[in-house]
Amino acid sequence: MIEDKNPKRTPLSELGEFKLIEHLTEHFKIEQKSTIKGIGDDAAVLSYGKKQIVVTTDLLVEGVHFDLSYVPLKHLGYKAVMVNLSDVYAMNAKATQITVSIAVSNRFPLEALEELYAGISTAAKLYNVDVVGGDTTSSTSGLIISITAIGEVEKGNEVLRSGAKPNDLLVVTGDIGGAYMGLQVLEREKEVFKVNPNSQPDLSMYTYIVERQLKPEARKDIVELLKQLDVKPTSMIDISDGLSSEVIHLCKQSKVGVDVYENKIPLDPQVISTCEEFNIDSTTVALNGGEDYELLMTISQEDFPKIKGNPNLTVIGYMTEEERGMHLVTRAEEKIPIIAKGWNALND
Ligand code: ADP
Ligand code: MG
C-alpha cells in the first residue's frame, strides 16, 4: 500500500465531474510541439507536418451509463462507438479509427460479447472507421467499455470550444431532449416489468425517443454539410450532457455570454407529448437531459444566409459580451440565468 500522506478526505460530490477533471489536470503542461490542443475540448488536436489528428476517449460503465435490463448489447456496442465519434465530429474532423477495450465478468457468455461486437461492427462500417485495437480484461463488477476514436482534420479547419465571439449565432443540429425522454419511458417499463414479468411493453407511441436513447447517431453528416455550405463554425461542442451544460462550456471557454431563446429550441412532437404525459417541462428536459449527441455551434452572422432555412440547423440564440452573462429568454420574455444541472455521474 502507498502511504496516504494527505489525511484530508474531500468527497468527490463536492466538486462534481467538471471541477474534478479541472483539479486533477490543471498542472499538466504541454511540452510537445505536436500538441496543438490538450485537455479541455471534445478531443485533443495533434499536428504532424501537414496532418492533424484528433483523439478522444470515453468510458461506459454498467449500472452508471447503461442498464442491461433494457439495453440490448448490440445497441450498446453501437452507442459506445457513437459517443466517441460524436466528439470527433465536434472538432469538425473526420473519424478514421477506433480502439475498443472491454472489462467483462464471467456473467457474460461468448454470445453476449458477440452481440456487443455486432453493434460495434455495424457502427464502424456505417461510419467508415477501422477498428484497430483495444484491450480485454476481467471485471468483478459488470461490463466496462472504453473506446478511443481517432480522426483527422486539415490544419486550420479544427473547431474548438473557445472561438465564439459576441454577436455570433448559436446553432443546434436536429432536435433535443429525445434521448432523455426515451430513458424515462424505458425506466418506467422496467418498473412495470418488475411488478408483472409477463407484461409486454407497448413502445409503439415512443419509437422515436426510445431510438434516440438506445441507438443515437453521431452527426457525421453535419461536418460534411458545413463543408458543403462553406461554413466554419467559430466554436463547436457535442451535446452529451444537456444543452445548458454545453452552452456553459462554450461561453466559459470563449469568454462570452449568451441569450438562448426558449421558443427556438427544436423539440420533436414526441418529446413534447411524452413530457406532457410525464408532467415534466420540455424546456427543462432540453436544457438538462443529455445524450442527444447533436452538435452545438456558433457561427458568424455573415454566414447566416448560408445556413438559413436548412432543416438540420436551428438558430436558438446569440452570443453576447461576457459581462452580460448566460441567460435563457423564456416564452414570457423573462431572462433567467442558465445553470449547469447536466448529467453528473458523480452526484447520481
Ligand atoms: P466530453 O464530454 O466531450 O467527453 P469530458 O467532459 O469527458 O468531455 O472531458 C473534458 C476534457 O477533459 C477532455 O479534454 C478530456 O480528454 C479531459 N479529461 C477527462 N477526464 C480526464 C482525466 N481523468 N484525465 C485527463 N484528462 C481528462
Ligand atoms: Mg464532447
Put simply, whether the predicted model's pTM sits higher than 0.75 gets the answer yes
When pLDDT is cut at 50, 70 and 90, the band that residue 25 belongs to is very high
Q: What is the pLDDT of residues 246-273, one digit of tens each?
A: 999 999 999 999 999 999 999 999 999 9
Q: Is 75 annotated as a binding residue?
A: no
Residue 38 CA to ligand 1 centre (angstroms):
10
What proportions of the chain, in percent to the nearest 5, are helix, strand and coil? 35, 25, 40
> Of all protein residues, whose CA lies closest to atom 8 belonging to ligand 1?
42
CA 85 to centroid of chain Cα atoms: 10
Q: Is 57 annotated as a binding residue?
A: yes
Which ligand ends up closest to the CA of 22? 1
Q: What is the pLDDT of residues 7-18, one digit of tens each?
A: 788 998 888 888
The per-residue pLDDT for 2 is: 64
Q: What is the pLDDT of residues 300-313, one digit of tens each?
A: 999 999 999 999 99
The per-residue pLDDT for 49 is: 85
The per-residue pLDDT for 18 is: 85
Cell for 250? 462554450
Coil vs helix vs strand at 124: helix
Answer for the pair 53, 46: CB distance below 8 angstroms, yes or no.
Answer: yes
> Of all protein residues, whose CA lies closest to atom 22 belonging to ligand 1?
21
Residue 15: partners with Cβ closer than 8 Å, 6 or more residues away:
23, 346
Measured CA distances, 191 to 70, 194, 197, 273 (Å) = 11, 5, 10, 21
Residue 25 CA to ligand 1 centre (angstroms):
9
The strand pair at 256-261 and 326-329 is best described as parallel
Nearest ligand 1 atom to alpha carbon 241:
2
Which of 39, 89, 249, 252 has the most ligand 1 atoms within 8 A of CB, as the residue to mutate?
39
- Rg (C-alpha) for the chain, rounded Å, is 21
Cell 452573462 found at: 325
The per-residue pLDDT for 347 is: 43
What percentage of the chain has pLDDT greater than the value 90?
Answer: 85
Determine the Cα–Cα distance for residues 99 and 2; give it in Å rounded to an integer: 32
The per-residue pLDDT for 345 is: 43
Residue 343 CA to ligand 1 centre (angstroms):
14
Q: In what order do the strands lie in the sheet with 130-138?
A: 35-37, 44-48, 51-61, 144-152, 94-104, 130-138
* All domains of the chain in start order, with CATH: 12-154 (3.30.1330.10), 169-337 (3.90.650.10)
Q: What is the pLDDT of residues 80-95, one digit of tens each?
A: 999 999 999 999 999 9
Nearest ligand 1 atom to alpha carbon 238:
3
